[in-house]
């Protein structure tokens, strides 16, 4: 490699230096390029647009642990809290948006019924991101799967691809949206893990509502932090992903199913 | 031949100068005279005073570049989670929401709408984004007394005067 291939940053790092100093810096820059090309590429990839630093950090993996043994059948508080927080109508027509819903499951042989909330599972390998033709469906650096509605064209491929039926399409013009939660006709939406609250350091609305109702069936936290409550619980109790066979590595995990 | 070409060139350049004077002249004259917006033939946008003190940038810069700032900021916010940034749309709305309607786009006199209808540029922002500040940061529409209604009636009067001033 010739010296003139030194990255411009290395040259600018030696302002008004002597010839020897300049050569030294240039050599250091070259060594950096040649010795650790992989490291540099990763650094560049992390700084690329789409994953800017600040709040969404790749060191964090937000996740949720839901204990279906504690989830009360008939309790709908998480759904109501989600609708209130995000300005959803709460209707149940096929054209109404539903970011979280309660489902009842039954073991046929024993008759044991269980109740659990179902929403976007914030996969590490999200199928909705794979199929999106415009890049509107994306995974944030901290593992939250979102729709960038500025570039969503409303094709609904992601709605089809999601195995959890977690995405909704907005069919009608919207009014009185929440300032933190923009929603508009012609775009797809789904659970955001209340990303606007998480960025402020708060819990998602459903988790707060569940603990306020006294059930405490939902825990939210950083799966990558070994000292967080969710990481400790996941490490000490057996928890499962829904549709484990798809190997999506979901951020939302369940106990007792 | 050369002389003829030079003559043609001189005529062409003087014609250009005349055309320039014809087009620029009236504009320069109008600017010099600084017509009040109401008596002009063209209705000027109503620019409501903002709630806060100083804008994040110089007003002239904002008029030209606010769309680039917003577009850059939206990507930072959606993808990077940068919320309390200098150029956030929410901060614009918090400051520029009308005292009368509480919005930046509901009435034709509101901050965003008045300029955009004047410039005939459609705003798509508020098909998804709220055009009003969050309830907590938003003072009552018509505070005790008549301040709110007074502000609205003044704006309406200004708009009506403009409409009447149209030929």
Question: How many alpha carbons lie under 13 Å from residue B160 in its C-beta half-sphere?
Answer: 6
Long-range CB contacts (within 8 A, 24+) of B61-65: B63/B115
Residues of B near A (Cβ–Cβ under 8 Å) read 74-76, 78-83, 90, 93, 127-130, 132-134
Judged by CB atoms closer than 8 Å, whether chains meet at A53 and B80 is answered as yes
Q: Are A225 and B167 in contact (CB under 8 A)?
A: no
- What mean pLDDT is predicted for residues B2-30? 55
Q: Nearest-CA neighbor of A78 among A62, A92, A98?
A: A98
* Rounded Cα–Cα distance for residues A196 and A203 (Å): 10
To the nearest whole Å, the CA of A118 is away from the closest chain B CA by: 24
Task: Report yes or no: A141 at the B interface, CB cutoff 8 Å.
Answer: yes
To the nearest whole Å, the CA of A177 is away from the closest chain B CA by: 5
Domain-embedded: residue B81: yes
Compare CB distances from B80 to A52, A180, A184 and report the shortest one's residue. Answer: A52
User: Per the structure block, which two tokens stand in for B15?
Assistant: 């014609």
The pTM of the whole model exceeds 0.80: no
Residue written as token pair 């405490």:
A216
Domain-embedded: residue B167: no
- The pLDDT of residue A18 is 60
Compare CB distances from B127 to A56, A138, A185 and report the shortest one's residue. Answer: A185
**Three-state secondary structure call for residue B71:** helix
Give the domain extent around B93.
55-123
Q: Please, what is the Cα angle at B89 between B88 and B94, to 5 degrees?
A: 100
* pLDDT above 70 for B44: yes
Domain-embedded: residue B23: no
pLDDT 10s digits, A188-242: 999 999 999 999 999 999 999 999 999 999 999 999 999 999 999 999 999 999 9
Domain-embedded: residue B93: yes
Give the domain extent around A202.
62-255
Do residues A13 and A112 share a domain? no
- Percentage of chain A with pLDDT > 70? 79
Q: Nearest-CA neighbor of A120 among A194, A187, A49, A175?
A: A194
Domain-embedded: residue B2: no
Give the total number of structural domains in chain B. 1
User: Per the structure block, which two tokens stand in for B50?
Assistant: 């903002």
* pLDDT above 60 for A36: no
Chain A residues touching B129 at Cβ < 8 A? 177, 179, 182
Range among A52-61, A236-245, B82-91 rated most confident? A236-245
To the nearest whole Å, the CA of B36 is away from the closest chain A CA by: 36
Band of pLDDT at residue B23, cut at 50, 70 and 90: low
Do residues A32 and A109 share a domain? no
pLDDT higher for B147 or A246?
A246
A252-255 and A62-67 as β-strands: parallel, antiparallel, unpaired? Answer: parallel
- The pLDDT of residue B5 is 65
Domain-embedded: residue B130: no
pLDDT 10s digits, A123-161: 999 999 999 999 999 999 999 999 999 999 999 999 999
Domain-embedded: residue A123: yes
* pLDDT above 90 for A14: no
User: Per the structure block, which two tokens stand in for A254?
Assistant: 């369940």
Q: Are B131 and B103 in contact (CB under 8 A)?
A: yes
Give the total number of structural domains in chain A. 2
Instruction: Give, for B165, the enclosing helix (H) or strand (E).
Output: helix B147-165
């Amino acid at each position: 490699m010739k010296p003139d291939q030194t990255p411009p940053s290395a040259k600018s790092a030696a302002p008004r230096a002597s010839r020897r100093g300049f050569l030294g810096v240039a050599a250091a820059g070259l060594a950096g390029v040649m010795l650790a090309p992989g490291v540099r590429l990763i650094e560049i990839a992390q700084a690329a647009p789409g994953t800017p630093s600040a709040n969404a950090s790749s060191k964090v993996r937000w996740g949720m642990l839901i204990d279906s043994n504690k989830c009360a059948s008939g309790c709908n508080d998480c759904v109501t809290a989600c609708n209130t927080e995000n300005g959803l109508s709460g209707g149940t027509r096929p054209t109404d948006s539903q970011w979280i819903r309660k489902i009842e499951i039954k073991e046929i042989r024993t008759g044991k019924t269980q109740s659990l909330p179902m929403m976007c599972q914030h996969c590490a390998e999200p199928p909705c991101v794979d199929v999106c033709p415009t890049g509107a469906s994306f995974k944030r650096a901290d593992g939250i799967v979102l729709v960038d509605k500025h570039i969503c064209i409303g094709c609904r491929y992601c709605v089809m691809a999601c195995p959890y039926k977690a995405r909704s399409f907005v069919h009608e013009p919207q009014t009185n949206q929440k300032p933190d939660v923009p929603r508009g006709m012609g775009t797809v939406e789904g659970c955001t893990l209340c990303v606007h609250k998480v960025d402020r350091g708060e819990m998602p609305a459903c988790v707060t509502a569940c603990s306020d109702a006294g059930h405490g069936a939902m825990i939210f936290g950083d799966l990558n932090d070994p000292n967080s409550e969710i990481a400790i619980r996941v490490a000490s109790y057996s928890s499962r992903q829904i549709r484990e066979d798809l190997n999506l590595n979901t951020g939302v995990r369940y106990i007792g199913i | 031949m050369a002389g003829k070409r030079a003559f043609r060139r001189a005529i062409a350049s003087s014609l250009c100068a005349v055309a320039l004077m014809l087009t620029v002249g009236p504009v320069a004259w109008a600017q010099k005279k600084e017509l009040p917006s109401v008596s002009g033939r063209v209705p000027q946008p109503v620019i409501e005073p903002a709630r806060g003190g100083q804008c994040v940038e110089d007003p002239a810069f904002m008029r030209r570049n606010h769309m680039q700032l917003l577009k850059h900021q939206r990507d930072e916010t959606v993808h990077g989670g940068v919320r309390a940034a200098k150029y956030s749309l929410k901060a614009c709305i918090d400051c520029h929401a009308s005292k009368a309607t509480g919005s930046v786009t509901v009435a034709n006199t509101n901050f965003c709408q008045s300029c955009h209808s004047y410039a005939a540029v459609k705003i798509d922002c508020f098909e998804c984004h709220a055009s009003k500040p969050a309830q907590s940061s938003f003072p009552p529409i018509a505070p005790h007394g008549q301040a709110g209604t007074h502000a609205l009636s003044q704006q309406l009067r200004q708009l009506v005067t403009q409409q009447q001033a149209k030929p």
